Structure 1
Amino acid sequence: MIDKVTILLATYNGELFIQDQIDSLKKQTYSNFQVFISDDGSTDNTLKIINSNLDDSRFKLLCNQRKGGVVNNFNFLLNCSIDTEYIMLCDQDDFWLNNKIEIMLNEFKLIESESYNVPLLLFSDLTLVDQKLKKISSSFYKHLNFNPENNIDLRYISWRSTVYGCSVIFNLKLVNVYNEFKLKKFSPMHDHLLALLAARHGRIHFLDKSFTYYRQHSNNVVGGSKKSLLSKLKRFKSLYNKVDVYCKSIISINELNQLSLLKKVNFISYNVLPFFRESPVFTSFFIFLFFLNGAENESSS
């Protein structure tokens, strides 16, 4: 029996690119899949485009009510009744090579055969492209000087992740662990949490190939474009606020709120500092806000 794959597609105001993504799914060499779609209350023509594709029975629109952001939208999908062993995540503005499901599923099964029935996640590289799918870089990780193997290290994944949801395949066991995890007020991106839980409770692997055109444009939630120093300075306040919320989510999922100052220093020394060179600006922000939030928690308790 050929295994069916469930693809979770979260959408919101994606009329410019979503048909490209749907077309790339329809052209997959591995055709035994179903696509669960959740729309976050789009106000453009996204729903019209989705509905025009529902004549293909593999595509199912589950909900079009507002959930409040990409994380909540994917959390809704991950909490749905998934009846397949293998799951992939799909962004509305990317483009999949036609052999993506076939190769990633085969690779995943090879790993699974050696992994003794545990939660598993496999992620791959990405190809950076512009709005018209013109190639910017054949490797997301090389373009940004990130080491993808860092994500396999539990020290790293406990506070930072460069695993992107559109590049992953995972099993139902990981979904069950994810849904049992009690999300707090401040929670990380869904793909970071999936990777962290896979590392904690099972295994995470990297496939050094790209099957996804990761489109760069002004509206994508997490992009791979390099930014100039001037651009970064202009975005300082926004960056500060984002890293602050991110830091609070890391403190929350690792239950670091009640740790002593010494144990917090140990966390930074053991988990964060070994990877400082990969992203010095981000890491410096993180360390500063980590201790600032810790001090605020102690004063309020």
Structure 2
Amino acid sequence: MLPKITVFMAAYNSENYISDSIKSILEQSFSDFELLIVNDGSTDQTVAVIEKFNDPRIRLVHNDKNRGLTYTRNVALTEARGEYIAILDSDDIAIKNRLELQYNFFRQHPEYALCGGHGVFINQRAELTNNSDLIVPVGAEKIKMTLLFENTFVNSSVMYKTSIYKELNGYQDYAPAEDYELFIRIAEKYPVWNLDQILVKYRIHENNISSLREEIAKLKLKAIKSEQLNYLGIPDHESFGNILFSILICDYKRYQFSDYHQLFLQIKSANRKLRKYPVREFEEMLFEKWFTIIYQKKAKMNALALLFNRDLFNWSYLNMRQLRKTFKLSLKGFGRLSK
């Protein structure tokens, strides 16, 4: 009898942490799963650590050599037996009832294709850190809108339907941002969700893939931003994609207010035409992003004029936090002028 869930774990030189990851799955409150571990040509003791576990639900598959993350994740296209695929990276830890919570969600909401949740940071010793928790957006429309600006899922928390994963032909060549790109493609066709609960402990250590491949990640993320704008039919999507990327990484120094203003007008117009996102809610989100740019770039004397820009402003979008902070920026500008 086939398992309900395939828990997928890619492993490359994971000897220090994979034991904790495996234990967190074997001790789940939901037991109808297989744990599919794909060894991507590890050269340390990763395989030896895995083989110490004597549990028939574990299936260990070996790549013929080190193939990289995208290839390794796509082994699930042919090997996953479950109706659902749950991702857990080989250095992270799933909370005890994670699979049960997500399986129950899909049973109650069969129209959804993808379900994730919040996370907390742990250090190399699996201790909670002082970092803020990994809190992701909740609500189908909010998640979908926010995906345009940032990844709205903790990868090690996600579970998705195997049939849809195969329909979309799995991960594409965007590693180490291949998960974000897949989530975008899923959300373009199907409703997605995040449970308002912590599902995973995300480990921070010196060998995190995102740290080792930061420059490659930037290039891939820029390509993702460009493709998102191309999907909206926005001309010059590559140049605008770079501006959208600067919002993703919260680096507003390179571009001027006029650049962001032009990008937002293009996005606003495209969405009104295509109705990809609910118009009012999306334009309120655009206004919030516009406020963030004003504040982060320290507009000062021009702050209020920029905030009340007629192309983006609506009285119903404005809140006291935005108004107060913008007013303080303006006062600083006038204070400097009077000195």
TM-score by length of 1: 0.71
The Cα of 1:82 is off from its aligned counterpart by 2.7
Matched-pair contact (CA < 8 Å) for 1:30–1:102: yes
1:214 to 195, 202, 210: 202
Question: Partner letter of residue 202 of structure 2?
Answer: Y
Matched letter for residue 205 of structure 2: H
Distance 2:131 2:100 in 1: 20
The question of whether the paired residues in 1 share the 8 Å contact of 2:226 and 2:238 is answered with no
Which residue does 2:251 correspond to in 1? none
* TM-fit CA distance, 1:140: 2.6
Whole-Å Cα distance in 1 between the matches of residues 118 and 89 of structure 2? 15
What value does the CA root-mean-square deviation take over the aligned residues? 3.7
- Could you say if the C-alpha distance between residues 276 and 69 of structure 1 is closer, same or farther in structure 2, counting changes exceeding 3 Å? farther
Which residues in structure 2 correspond to 1:158-237 (within 5 Å)? 158=148, 160-179=150-169, 183=172, 186=174, 189-222=177-210
CA offset digits 1:112-161 (Å, max 9, x no partner): 1xx2xxx610110001111112112696335xxx6455984444324531
Q: Which amino acid aligns with 1:204?
A: V
Quote the Cα distance in structure 1 between the aligned partners of 2:185 and 2:142: 11
Query: How far 1:243 moved relative to its partner?
Result: 1.8
Structure 2 match to 1:73: 72
**Quick one: structure 1 residues 254 and 72, their matched pair in 2 at CA, closer, same or farther if it must change by over 3 Å?**
farther
Q: Verify the 8 A CA contact 2:176 2:210 in the aligned structure 1.
A: no
Superposition map of 1:1-301 within 5 A: 4-53=4-53, 55-77=54-76, 79-112=77-110, 115=111, 120-136=113-129, 140-142=133-135, 147=137, 152-158=142-148, 160-179=150-169, 183=172, 186=174, 189-222=177-210, 242-252=217-227, 255=230, 260-261=235-236, 268-269=263-264, 270=267, 276=289
Whole-Å separation in 2 of the counterparts to 1:278 and 1:135: 33
Change (3 A) 1:261 1:196: closer
Aligned-residue offset at 1:202: 0.9
- 1:62 is aligned with what amino acid? V
Question: In structure 2, do the counterparts of structure 1 residues 279 and 175 end up closer, same or farther at CA, with 3 Å as the change threshold?
Answer: farther
CA contact under 8 A between 2:177 and 2:220: conserved in structure 1?
A: no
Tell which has more relative contact order, 1 or 2 (C-alpha 8 A, sep 6+): 1
Runs of 4 or more above 6 Å deviation: 277-280
What amino acid is aligned across from residue 121 of structure 2 in structure 1?
L
Deviation, 1:187, is 6.3
How far does residue 192 in structure 1 lie from its aligned partner after superposition? 1.3
Following the alignment from structure 1 to structure 2, what is the Cα–Cα distance between the partners of residues 60 and 43? 19
Whether the 8 Å CA contact 2:140–2:193 is kept in 1: the answer is no
Comparing 243-252 with 209-218, greater Cα deviation is found at 243-252
CA contact (8 A) 2:114 2:161 kept: yes
Q: Summarize the Cα distance change of 1:152–1:35 in structure 2 as closer, same or farther, 3 Å threshold.
A: farther
Mapped to 1, the partners of 2:50 and 2:200 lie a distance apart of 21
Over 3 Å counting, the alpha-carbon distance change for 1:278 and 1:34 in structure 2 is farther
1:248 to 1:22, Cα distance in 2 relative to 1, 3 A: same
Task: Tell me the alpha carbon deviations over residues 149-205 of structure 1, each in whole angstroms, 9 at most, x when there is no partner.
Answer: 598444432453131221111112321232178x4x556733213321221111111
SS in 2 for 1:141: coil
Q: Does the 8 Å CA contact 1:141/1:147 hold for their aligned counterparts?
A: no
Hey, what's the Cα distance between the residues in 2 that align with 1:65 and 1:110?
A: 40
Once the two structures are TM-superposed, the CA of residue 34 in structure 1 deviates from its matched residue by: 0.3
SS at match of 2:206: coil
Query: Which sections of structure 1, spanning at least 5 residues, go unmatched?
Result: 224-234, 285-301
CA deviation string 1:237-277 (max 9, x = no partner):
x8565323321244347656x96338975984228965647
CA contact (8 A) 1:4 1:84 kept: yes
Residues of 1 paired with 2:113 and 2:237: CA distance? 33
Task: Answer whether contact 2:137 2:194 (CA < 8 A) is retained.
Answer: no
Once the two structures are superposed, residues 65-87 of structure 1 have per-residue CA deviations (whole angstroms, 9 ceiling, x without a partner) of: 3343323321232x224332111
Residues 150, 273 of structure 1: CA spacing in aligned structure 2 closer, same or farther, 3 A cutoff?
farther
Aligned pair count reads 257
C-alpha separation between the residues in 2 aligned to 1:186 and 1:132?
30
Normalising by structure 2, what TM-score?
0.64
